[in-house]
């Protein structure tokens, strides 16, 4: 029997990207409605290589610290405006992502590549957790100690991670990602490359589930098709096993539920059995699996 045909969906992104964080519900729906038909992959693209490229030159004439403070306020506003895309909560109460010492998002990109090399099965979970730490917990994740805390929380060996993060292998892999982005002419982020057999399509910007669905059906000539997943305790358990930290918005989209109250009803048996717990966050909540 031939293996099932799969479409590869490659996302060009950066761990600090609010637009990618807000797109997670679309990915959960693709995952459940095109079950086992899509292979997801991420290419790191270095959104902020030097924060001083983004500050106001007039502010920079005052001082680096002043310019960064003005940019911090602007960046926080951008993040908060992106919250409206899907409603995934964003916390910008004390954004300190960039300082005069930490001026780039490259460490976050490098961390994902190191996580891939250290434990490929947990790398995408690490990427999600890194975004959660940055955008929901408002932690300064450009700092090494914060990155290592996320590594440990994800269950990746810190020693194995550091071997790649500091030893050059992660940097080599990140260079390959940058080269791929450049070869395809990807400029705006996020961008998506869909590949199916010998066909491919590249699209820039945030796109929703219906646009993804239309592109997938067109690219595969209908060979891949969507199907409404079963709505059951076991189905949501399987989803949470794959994504041990997940928002109710993602579960709502994954099963095409009518509202968040339907999510609460669906997860209640898992809460009662203490398989999961509610993690309260600023202006919202997440579901987390008990370890």
CATH number, domain of 117, equals 3.40.30.10
Residues 175 and 238 in one domain: no
Question: Which residues on adjacent β-strands are paired with residue 8?
Answer: 39, 195
Q: Which residues of the chain have pLDDT under 50?
A: 1-2
14 and 126 fall within a common domain: yes
- Residue 194 covered by a domain: no
Distance in angstroms (rounded) separating the CA atoms of residues 168 and 200: 31
Residue 36 sits in the same domain as residue 165: yes
Task: Give the tens place of pLDDT for each residue, 100-137.
Answer: 999 999 999 999 999 999 999 999 999 999 999 999 99
State pLDDT tens for residues 46-64.
999 999 999 999 999 999 9
Q: How many residues does the chain have?
A: 291
Task: Give 278's strand partners.
Answer: 287
Same domain, 34 and 139: yes
User: Which residue, 155, 182, 209, sits at the end of a domain?
Assistant: 182
Does some domain include residue 106? yes
Query: Which residue, 182, 215, 241, sits at the end of a domain?
Result: 182
Angle at 202 between CA 81 and CA 243, to 5 degrees: 60
Q: Judge if 101 and 19 occupy the same domain.
A: yes
Q: How are beta strands 276-281 and 284-289 bridged, if at all?
A: antiparallel
What's the rounded Cα separation, in Å, for the pair 180 and 23?
22
Same structural domain, 168 and 269: no
Q: Residues 125, 31: one domain?
A: yes
From 164, 182, 200, give the residue that closes a domain. Answer: 182
Residues 45 and 136 grouped into a single domain: yes
Specify the number of domains making up the chain. Answer: 2
Please state whether beta strands 245-246 and 191-196 pair in parallel, antiparallel, or not at all (unpaired).
unpaired
Closest CA to 24 of 277, 238, 252: 252
Residue 245 belongs to some domain of the structure:
yes
**What residue numbers bound the domain in which 241 lies?**
233-289
What pLDDT does 1 receive?
30
Phi, psi for 285 (deg, rounded to 5): -155, 155
Q: Any alpha helices (H) in 155-191, and if so which ranges?
A: 158-167, 169-184
pLDDT in tens, 29-46: 999 999 999 999 999 999
Cα 255 → chain centroid: 20
83, 169: one domain: yes
Beta bridge partners, 11, equal 42, 192
């Amino acid at each position: 029997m031939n293996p099932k045909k799969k479409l590869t969906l490659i996302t060009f992104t950066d761990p600090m990207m609010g637009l990618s964080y807000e797109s997670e519900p679309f990915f959960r729906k693709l995952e459940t409605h095109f079950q086992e038909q899509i292979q997801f992959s991420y290419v790191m693209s270095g959104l902020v290589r030097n924060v001083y490229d983004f500050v106001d030159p007039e502010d920079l004439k005052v001082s680096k610290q002043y310019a960064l403070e003005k940019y911090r306020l602007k960046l926080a506003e951008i993040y908060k405006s992106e919250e409206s895309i899907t409603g995934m909560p964003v916390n910008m109460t004390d954004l300190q992502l960039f300082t005069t010492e930490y001026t780039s998002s490259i460490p976050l990109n490098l961390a994902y590549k190191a996580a891939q090399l250290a434990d490929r099965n947990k790398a995408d979970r690490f990427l999600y957790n890194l975004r959660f730490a940055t955008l929901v917990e408002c932690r300064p994740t450009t700092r090494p100690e914060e990155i290592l805390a996320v590594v440990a929380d994800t269950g990746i060996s810190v020693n194995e991670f550091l071997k790649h993060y500091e030893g050059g292998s992660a940097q080599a892999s990140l260079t390959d990602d940058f080269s791929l982005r450049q070869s395809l002419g990807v400029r705006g982020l996020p961008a998506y490359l869909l590949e199916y057999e010998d066909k491919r399509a590249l699209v820039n910007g945030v796109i929703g589930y219906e646009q993804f669905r239309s592109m997938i059906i067109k690219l595969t000539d209908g060979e891949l098709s969507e199907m409404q997943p079963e709505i059951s305790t076991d189905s949501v358990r399987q989803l949470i096993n794959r994504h041990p930290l997940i928002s109710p918005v993602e579960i709502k989209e994954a099963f095409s539920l009518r509202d968040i109250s339907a999510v609460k009803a669906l997860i209640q048996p898992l809460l009662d059995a203490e398989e999961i717990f509610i993690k309260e966050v600023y202006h919202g909540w997440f579901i987390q699996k008990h370890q």
